[in-house]
Amino acid sequence: MRIATWNVNSITARLPRLLAWLESSGTDVLCLQEAKCAEDAFPFEELRALGYEAAVNATGRWNGVAVLSRVGLENVVVGLPGGPDYDGGQEPRAISATCGGVRVWSVYVPNGREVGHDHYAYKLHWLEALRDAVTADATGELPFAVLGDYNVAPTDEDVYDPAVFEGSTHVTPAERAALAALRDAGLSDIVPRPLKYDHPYTYWDYRQLCFPKNRGMRIDLVYGNESFAKAKRDAYVDRDERKGKGASDHAPVVVDLDV
């Protein structure tokens, strides 16, 4: 089974590339982030034509997550149980489902904006709620993973120049401690160092030629439980999908499982 995660940065803008990638990559399950559309505008029919069902948590604006599957879609949970509100409600940043005997969460962790901002505190609370919500699945026997845009680089090696990010979100000790707490719940980093690239970044800003200069960050992560880790056969960042006209600023992260 091939499972992937991809922040598409607007499914409407990225739809032709998404459909082409699904056909060429052989992906069975895709955890998608930043749909940037309401659920009634989600391209269910186009995906169904390729054999994919979709579970969606999206209200428009800047967030929105989904799980696309061609191997079944069961036990869907929309939202983050116990998750904090922001600006008057719970944002559409999490959805989970069981696909072909594997339990997956698609998550889009809050950005945090800047240290000291109320969105930064919200981010830390959100990660704490995520840890609490996934603990039961993490310690279960079913292969399980939380995939998505975590908006946290786990180590200094996961950014092109630590000095550039000093004092900024995505690299603070508190954010990295939240990731460590998630691992302590029974999960591990499934794609820590893919062999295809020395620096397997997953995100490059559109500005200042960041992609051609490889000024990136590894913030799109797959955290899986022991059963998921044992089933892993291969894992990589599909860097080529970041190239060319109309690309997302994130690349897909792909994991092959022997299940």
State which fold the 2-257 domain adopts: Deoxyribonuclease I; Chain A (3.60.10)
CA separation for the pair 185, 131 (Å, rounded): 7
The pLDDT of residue 195: 52
Are 32 and 107 in contact by the 8 Å Cβ rule? The answer is: no
Which of 28, 52, 108, 122 is catalytic? The answer is 108
Given CA atoms 150, 154, 159, 161 in this order, what sign does their dihedral have?
positive
Pick from 46-50, 85-89, 199-203 the range whose average pLDDT is largest: 46-50
pLDDT digits (tens, 9 = 90+) for 137-190: 999 999 999 999 999 999 999 999 999 999 999 999 999 999 999 999 999 999
Question: Is 125 tagged catalytic?
Answer: no
| Catalytic-labelled residue, pool 28, 52, 203, 250 | 250
Catalytic residue among 28, 52, 120, 149: 149
What is the pLDDT at residue 62? 84
Average pLDDT, the chain: 95
Give the start-to-end residue ranges of the domains of the chain.
Answer: 2-257
- Alpha carbon of 50 to those of 25, 43, 54, 70: distances in Å? 13, 11, 11, 9
Does the pLDDT of residue 198 top 90, yes or no?
no
What ranges make up the beta strands (E) of the chain? 2-7, 29-33, 53-57, 65-69, 74-78, 94-99, 102-108, 144-149, 188-189, 203-204, 216-217, 220-224, 232-237, 253-257
Active site residue 150: no
pLDDT mean over 38-62: 96
Q: Is 250 a known active-site residue?
A: yes
* pLDDT for 162: 94
